[in-house]
């Protein structure tokens, strides 16, 4: 990601950051944040219209004097049955 598209997450600690995206943009974001390979992302069915929530934990590397945020959890927001149905619908479209 370039600096223009990357939020200043270290200063956003304790705050919510909203990113709105769809399709391949979400796949690219997931690959970047979750260290997912191209093969893994190809098998991933991201449901359409379902918010995906990332939670981060902070880590300070004293040797490098920098502050990093890393993904601590990923979840979808909403009714579990509706999310499962939306995920299955995407899988059927993609044939995965």
Cα(89)–Cα(83) distance, rounded to whole angstroms? 10
Provide the 8-state DSSP code for 63: T
Reported as a pLDDT band with limits 50, 70 and 90, residue 23 is confident
Q: What is the mean pLDDT of residues 11-22?
A: 75
The predicted-structure confidence for 31-82, as pLDDT tens digits, reads as follows 999 999 999 999 999 998 999 999 888 776 666 656 677 888 999 999 999 9
pLDDT of 26 strictly over 70: yes
For the chain, what's the residue count?
A: 96
Q: Residue 95's pLDDT band (boundaries 50, 70, 90)?
A: low
Q: Domains of the chain: which residue ranges?
A: 20-89
Instruction: Outline where 3-79 has alpha helix (H).
Output: 24-34, 38-42
Q: Which two tokens stand for residue 35?
A: 């260290």
């Amino acid at each position: 990601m370039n600096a223009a598209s990357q939020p200043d997450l270290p200063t956003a600690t304790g705050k919510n950051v909203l990113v709105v995206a769809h399709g391949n943009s979400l796949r690219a974001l997931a690959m970047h944040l979750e260290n997912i390979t191209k093969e893994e992302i190809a098998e991933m069915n991201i449901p359409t219209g379902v918010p995906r929530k990332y939670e981060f934990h902070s880590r300070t590397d004293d040797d490098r004097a920098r502050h990093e945020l890393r993904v601590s959890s990923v979840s979808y927001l909403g009714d579990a049955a509706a999310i499962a149905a939306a995920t299955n619908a995407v899988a059927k479209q993609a044939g995965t």
